[in-house]
């Protein structure tokens, strides 16, 4: 039986890139970046939002200038142009609870309002701006079709699927007979390469079940190819085709 790593947390991290992946961004769904008001002016935050009938689901990467990046999960509600959102650490460390609360207004490509740290009662103004990939040429679903370097044949017992949305969200679903995972993040493409970044450090470690937080695939005409250097000098090549 296949073991899916962090299945429930993966579901909470983000709704899948649903709907028409080629459609332009609508409402708050998509990627948002800005500087946070609670520390250094260089502190930054990335929000990945999905608005659905069940409310807004969110994952985030908060990067303080003087501390490690914190990956957070949360949710909220949209009322008209107002978004009320709460984020927390998915695996809370011992001690006081920690969460961030946002009260934001949507206006075109910006979300502006306040950000508050509930554990310290600090708050301040914040403006987030929608971030779109440099190109939409790779938007859609890509499936693993060929593997070179190891004795594996893509099929029901070995699948790898990338879903790239027009608003910049990305999803990877990987499954074998031994393990599997679903992770969400963001994508961009520049200079002939697809760049991927996933937010899953709360339940996946680097290289666990083949997971990598940052991934890149070469664009070779109608094919995307991932290269991985293996022990013994062997290079694993994995081809993906648009489905």
pLDDT of amino acid 26: 67
pLDDT of amino acid 1: 39
CB burial class (10 A; 0-12, 13-18, 19+) of residue 85? Answer: buried
pLDDT of amino acid 21: 55
Q: Give the whole-angstrom CA distance, residue 236 versus residue 238.
A: 7
| Residues present in the chain in total | 243
Q: Give the whole-angstrom CA distance, residue 125 versus residue 38.
A: 9
Could you read off the pLDDT of 133-163 as tens digits, one per residue? 999 999 999 999 999 999 999 999 999 999 9
pLDDT of amino acid 139: 97
Residue extents of the structural domains in the chain: 7-13+134-242, 30-131
Calculate the alpha carbon distances from 153 to 146, 215, 222, 242 in Å.
7, 21, 20, 18
pLDDT of amino acid 93: 52
Does CATH number 2.40.128.120 belong to domain 30-131?
yes
Which CATH code, of 2.40.128.280, 3.90.110.10, 3.40.50.2000, 3.40.630.30, is assigned to 7-13+134-242? 2.40.128.280
> Residue 34 is encoded by which pair of tokens?
């800005």
Q: What is the pTM of this model?
A: 0.84
Which positions of the chain have pLDDT values less than 70? 1-26, 91-97
């Amino acid at each position: 039986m296949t073991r899916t790593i962090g299945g429930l947390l993966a579901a909470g991290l983000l709704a899948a890139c649903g709907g028409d992946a080629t459609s332009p961004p609508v409402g708050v769904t998509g990627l948002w970046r800005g500087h946070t008001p609670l520390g250094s002016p260089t502190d930054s935050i990335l929000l990945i939002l999905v608005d659905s009938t069940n409310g807004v689901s969110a994952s985030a990467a908060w990067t303080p200038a003087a501390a490690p990046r914190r990956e957070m999960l949360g949710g909220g509600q949209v009322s008209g142009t107002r978004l009320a959102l709460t984020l927390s650490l998915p695996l809370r460390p011992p001690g006081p609870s920690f969460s961030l609360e946002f009260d934001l207004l949507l206006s075109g490509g910006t979300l502006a309002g306040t950000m508050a740290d509930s554990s310290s009662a600090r708050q301040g103004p914040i403006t987030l701006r929608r971030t779109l990939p440099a190109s939409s040429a790779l938007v859609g679903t890509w499936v693993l079709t060929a593997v070179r370097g190891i004795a594996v044949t893509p099929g029901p017992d070995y699948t790898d699927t990338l879903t790239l949305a027009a608003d910049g969200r990305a999803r990877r679903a990987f499954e074998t007979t031994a393990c599997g995972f679903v992770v969400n993040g963001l994508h961009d493409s520049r200079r002939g390469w697809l760049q991927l970044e996933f937010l899953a450090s709360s339940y996946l470690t680097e290289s666990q079940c083949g997971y990598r937080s940052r991934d890149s695939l070469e664009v070779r005409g109608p094919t995307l190819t991932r290269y991985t250097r293996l022990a013994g000098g062997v290079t694993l090549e994995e081809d993906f085709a648009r489905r």
